[in-house]
């Protein structure tokens, strides 16, 4: 299991290629040959880059869903809409498919943000707007998500 660290700014060229920053690429070295899956985010106007092992683990969870329940089938269809296999080439570039660039509104300025086991790919302005929008509520969110779960630390 991999855990990415860092937030990186880079540029997309006219074909949708971005150069993965060296610090992030170095973290990917052990998994570069396995490939990646890129998809639209469920909650935000960004893309998510999954290492193949992480994607396969997520798909194992999906396989357990009963496809004869309409809501499960609808969720799987929407969740996997636009999913693509991608690779980081020998020069360290990632080609983002055109349809996904459009979905996420990615322009020339891009932010790659680590999100534990995946990397989020954002248009820079959208990323900054989301950070600003959630800043005021972050303390409450942190307490709710990471606060007392009933486990006492000694």
State pLDDT tens for residues 23-67. Answer: 999 999 999 999 999 999 999 999 999 999 999 999 999 999 998
**pLDDT at 55 (0 to 100):** 97
| pLDDT at res. 91 | 93
- β-strands 36-40, 47-51 pairing: antiparallel
At CA 136, angle to CA 130 and CA 112, rounded to 5? 30
Cα 147 → chain centroid: 25
- What is the pTM assigned to this prediction? 0.89
Two tokens at 29?
Answer: 């070295």
CATH, domain range 7-146: 3.40.1550.20
pLDDT value of residue 35: 95
DSSP string, 101-112: HHHHT--SEEEE
Model pLDDT, residue 21: 97
| CB atoms inside a 10 Å sphere around CB 130 | 17
Alpha-carbon span 50 to 39, nearest angstrom: 8
pLDDT at 137: 81
- 3-class DSSP state of 87: coil
Intervals of the chain under pLDDT 70 = 149-154
Residues whose CB falls within 8 Å of the CB of residue 33, separated by 6 or more in sequence, listed in order: none
């Amino acid at each position: 299991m991999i855990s990415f660290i860092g937030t990186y700014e880079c540029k997309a060229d006219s074909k949708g290629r971005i150069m993965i920053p060296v610090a992030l690429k170095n973290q990917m070295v052990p998994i570069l040959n396995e490939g990646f899956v890129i998809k639209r985010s469920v909650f935000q106007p960004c893309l998510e880059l999954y290492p193949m092992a992480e994607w396969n683990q997520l798909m194992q969870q999906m396989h357990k869903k009963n496809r004869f329940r309409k809501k499960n089938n609808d969720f799987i269809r929407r969740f996997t809409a636009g999913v693509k296999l991608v690779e980081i080439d020998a020069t360290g570039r990632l080609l983002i498919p055109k349809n996904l660039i459009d979905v996420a509104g990615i322009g020339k300025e891009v932010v790659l943000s680590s999100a534990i086991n995946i990397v989020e790919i954002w248009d820079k302005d959208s990323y900054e707007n989301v950070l600003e929008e959630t800043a005021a509520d972050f303390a409450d969110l942190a307490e709710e998500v990471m606060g007392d779960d009933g486990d006492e630390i000694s």
